Structure 1
Amino acid sequence: MTTEGSPPPADVWRDATRVTIRRVAVDVGLALVFAGVLSAIQLQMSAAMVWATLVLSLGLAVRRVSPWLVLATGVAAALIQVLTGEIAAYGDVAYAPLAFALGAHVSSAVRRTALVAAAVAVAGAGLWSGLVGSEMFDASLSAGIGMAAVTAVFIGGGWTAGFVRWQRRQAIQAQVDAAFAGAEQKRIEELYHQEQERSRIAADMHDLVAHSWAVVAAQADGARYVLREDPDRAEGALSVIGETARSAMNDVRGLLAELRGFEQSPAVAAPIADRVIDRMRRTGLVIEHARYGSAHPGDVGDAAGFVLTESLTNALKHGDRGRPVEVVEDWRDGYALRVANPLQPGAEARRGTGHGLRGMTERVAAAGGRLSAGRQDGLWIVDVRIPAGAAG
């Protein structure tokens, strides 16, 4: 398994199976030695044996270069011996390494063709020896069985050994591929986790900055208006500004530490609904809050705190502050939240595509629920539904 930009799994046998000049030279050298020694021995017996040996030596020389030429040399040597009736017993030893090379070949077509050729060779050797015979022995049933057995040992055994080697290499390659696939899967999972963490931190940063600065702006405006007429209220507003700013600074430090990878830095705590409502009321926002059942901690509780904070922040920034915001929470069967705030006269509200709404939707979805938001009868309504048991 690979992805764009990542290296493919390694072919562990690439170097072992690669045809190089050095390896071909070694094969040619061994073939020459084989041909020279055995030809000298068999020349005293028959010229046909020498020709068969030379042809098989050619197969040894090219066994890495051309498997089809190897097959051709094996067939040609066999025909020479059958037509002349003389068996090159010493030279036929070359059939074993030739069959081994074909059985271990990477091409399935070569392996299958070589297997068929081996079966034909065993059957042909048995029939020829049993029915025709040669100058070395007379035709008989025992001769046919013996020749078939010897052929099966050299050609069939060589092919089987080569095929076993190919299977072992495939098994090792499969293990390597599985290890690469596992590593790649782990890398993708880590990248996904990192992306999820970045999205979460971005949502936390948006919620923190939007909420904090909305409160600060509202309180600053209020303090400016009542500074002379009601200094106590102005002082209270400035107190809220200071408290909000200090809390926001601490949370921002935590988020920045997370971005830098400081694991010891605590994550931004989820807002607590009652504290959020109290803070927003201190900005002058009128909130009619009703809660059914008892809130409980966990993923659902965290999502509820963040969604409520963002909804009230949007009501503070974009809603009609002269009219109350309705907040209804229901914890009796899962979690349900409805926040309805009046729109400013003439305001064109619609489902947005900004960070706030997207962040709320992602938080609720991560908790196993759904969120809808939109304009209805002059109100901006946020509706959340999280089934019981959907998340911790």
Structure 2
Amino acid sequence: MTDVDVWGEDRPLGRGALLLDVGLALGIGLLGLAVGATQSRWSVLAAVLLSVALAVRRVSWPAAFGLSVAGGVAQIVGGDVNVVADLAYAPIAFSFGAHRSAKVRWFGLVSAVAGVVVAGTWAALHQSTDAAGTPEVAVGGTITAALAALVLLGGWLTGFVRWQRREAVRAGIAVRLQSAEERRLQDLVAQEQERTRIAADMHDVVAHSWAVVAAQADGARYLLRSDPDRAEEALGVIGETARTAMTDVRQLLTRLREPGVADAEGDLAFERPEALVGRMRASGMTLDVRRSGKPPDDPALASTARRVFAESLTNALKHGDLTTPVRVEEEWQGQAYRLRVENARAAGQGEGESMGGDGTGARAMDGDGHGLRGMAERVGSAGGAMSAGPTDRGRRWVLCIEIPSATTEDAS
């Protein structure tokens, strides 16, 4: 991005810069005309040509180059050197050295070197016609070449140094702009990831809470006359579940309104394993839970495990047959995690689709598919694999999740 136009060089020349060039050209031109008037008409013509070249040097470099060459030729033909008019060569060469195009810069350098050679050669030959002796010829040519180099090469080199300095500034600005753009894109990605995570959390909270509420409400309705105490207990679970869900939703909305805010309140209430198992059992689910190992210190992995554990039980509650036990096997082995949930399918559940490790077939058992899809995304982001589908001729449903440890992944 070193083509950043910091100084507006890509825009048309401004009125102020143009007036500056015209004023400088008029000053040198008038003085050059005064000198040329004492020499010859060719010297006057050279002064006019060089002043016009100076005026258009930043408008059209080809025109400036052509006029400069013509001014030099006029002096060679007339045999007189207009010293004042030749001062215009310095800012003209400066414009070539400072030009943004590399071709123009190197063309200007070659032209300046050629100008020095021509000036020195002409001076030597001109000196030889007026005086005899080789030393005088050499001295005259050398002095003229040195003065031409001071004007032409000095002007070009000054412009080239200015171009280098501006390029350094452009490069620094380009790096800062690139860094800012990368940070902006990273922020956008982080925001999108955060929104996706919050959307998944919101689905989990709502799906879990309403599954529990629906199960308890159905139970309370049937028990209201036959067993008022159990019906009252079910209503209590409904109230507690609703309050917990509202707390979790408020926490998620806080994260959404204030991106990057620390989760000071800790985990969402619905995903705490002990409370989750208690709510499921209170909803009429018979759970056969076998848990081994201890969650690792990695909070991201532990959070993924808690959430897929909660969603898998919610899925079984919504779509399973609660008259048969739900078998849950959860195992931690260092950083590796394994979860297997098996439940009987409720009457009316079709064969559905199977979900492989790639997360396809998300509509298998979970109505709209968001639950299984969300679990597959969570497991995939942690480097694991998930499979879910019917078994035992469609009578049971099995969900398996495996998240290998880093050392296992490296070995494989």
TM-score past 0.5 threshold: yes
Q: 2:344 aligns with which of 324, 342, 349?
A: 342
Shift of 1:117: 0.6
Q: 2:390 aligns with which of 375, 379, 384?
A: 375
Of 182-191 and 258-267, the range deviating more from structure 2: 258-267
What does residue 401 of structure 2 align with?
384
SS of 1:14's partner is: coil
What does residue 358 of structure 2 align with?
none
List aligned pairs for 1:1-392, cutoff 5 A.
Answer: 11-14=5-8, 18-131=12-125, 133=127, 140-261=137-258, 263=261, 266=264, 269-270=267-268, 271-296=271-296, 298-333=299-334, 334-348=336-350, 349-350=352-353, 351-352=361-362, 354-377=369-392, 378=394, 379-389=396-406
Shift of 1:38: 1.9
Distance 2:75 2:294 in 1: 97
Alpha carbons of structure 1 residues 296 and 232: separation in structure 2 relative to 1, 3 Å: farther
SS of 1:219's partner is: helix
Distance 1:88 1:231 in 2: 118
**Cα deviations across residues 108-148 of structure 1 (Å, max 9, x unaligned)?**
22212111111211222233333454777776223232222
Of 128-137 and 115-124, the range deviating more from structure 2: 128-137
Shift of 1:72: 0.8
Alpha carbons of structure 1 residues 326 and 135: separation in structure 2 relative to 1, 3 Å: farther
Alpha carbons of structure 1 residues 370 and 222: separation in structure 2 relative to 1, 3 Å: same
Of 136-145 and 371-380, the range deviating more from structure 2: 136-145
Shift of 1:304: 1.1
Paired residue type of 1:303: T
Shift of 1:21: 3.6
Distance 2:43 2:137 in 1: 23
Of 114-123 and 46-55, the range deviating more from structure 2: 46-55
What does residue 5 of structure 1 align with?
none
Kept in 2, the 8 Å contact 1:86–1:135? The answer is: no
Distance 1:12 1:123 in 2: 37
| Structure 1 alignment gaps of length 5 or more | 2-8
Kept in 2, the 8 Å contact 1:204–1:268? The answer is: no
Distance 2:321 2:391 in 1: 15
Distance 2:382 2:130 in 1: 88
Distance 1:17 1:160 in 2: 24
Kept in 2, the 8 Å contact 1:137–1:143? The answer is: no
Kept in 2, the 8 Å contact 1:85–1:133? The answer is: no
| Structure 2 alignment gaps of length 5 or more | 354-360, 364-368, 408-412
Shift of 1:157: 0.8
Percent identity for Structure 1 against Structure 2: 46
Kept in 1, the 8 Å contact 2:31–2:84? The answer is: no
Shift of 1:209: 0.9
Distance 2:294 2:32 in 1: 97
CA RMSD between the two structures: 2.6
Paired residue type of 1:381: V
Of 182-191 and 79-88, the range deviating more from structure 2: 79-88
Shift of 1:23: 3.1
SS of 1:87's partner is: coil
Shift of 1:266: 4.0
SS of 1:105's partner is: coil
Kept in 1, the 8 Å contact 2:293–2:331? The answer is: yes
Paired residue type of 1:326: R
Distance 2:128 2:390 in 1: 102
Paired residue type of 2:55: A
Distance 2:384 2:85 in 1: 79
How many aligned positions are there? 383
Distance 2:32 2:312 in 1: 94
Shift of 1:306: 0.7
**Cα deviations across residues 26-67 of structure 1 (Å, max 9, x unaligned)?**
422332232222211231123222222221111111112111
Paired residue type of 2:362: G
Alpha carbons of structure 1 residues 296 and 224: separation in structure 2 relative to 1, 3 Å: farther
Shift of 1:242: 1.9
Alpha carbons of structure 1 residues 372 and 92: separation in structure 2 relative to 1, 3 Å: same
SS of 1:284's partner is: coil
Distance 1:276 1:355 in 2: 20
SS of 1:295's partner is: coil
Distance 1:137 1:215 in 2: 116
**Cα deviations across residues 275-318 of structure 1 (Å, max 9, x unaligned)?**
32232122111222222222345222211111011111111111
Of 320-329 and 340-349, the range deviating more from structure 2: 340-349
Shift of 1:214: 0.5
Distance 2:165 2:370 in 1: 55
Distance 2:205 2:128 in 1: 98
Of 309-318 and 188-197, the range deviating more from structure 2: 188-197
SS of 2:288's partner is: strand
